[in-house]
Amino acid sequence: MRLIINGFPEEVPEHSTVADIIDGNQEFEVHMIAELNHRFVHQNDYTTTVLKEGDILELIHAAFGG
């Protein structure tokens, strides 16, 4: 199935979850935010949020500074 992940088209297995993508891309970080189709996904929902063809997933790493 084809998704847009961080602005780039990618092929992923059917029934993949947000957690699968994070694990597969080694993206996990405590302060990371996941956004699916322009909506925030709570960290508790990563394993139960199943992705669909054409979804747009953004994995955003917060940048702290001052």
For the chain, list the domains and their CATH numbers: 2-61 (3.10.20.30)
Residue 36: its pLDDT value, please?
Answer: 98
Low-confidence ranges of the chain (pLDDT < 50): none
Which pLDDT belongs to residue 64?
64
pTM, 2 dp = 0.86
Identify whether the C-beta of residue 10 lies closer than 8 Å to the C-beta of residue 55: no
Cα atoms found within 13 Å of the Cα of residue 42, Cβ hemisphere only = 2
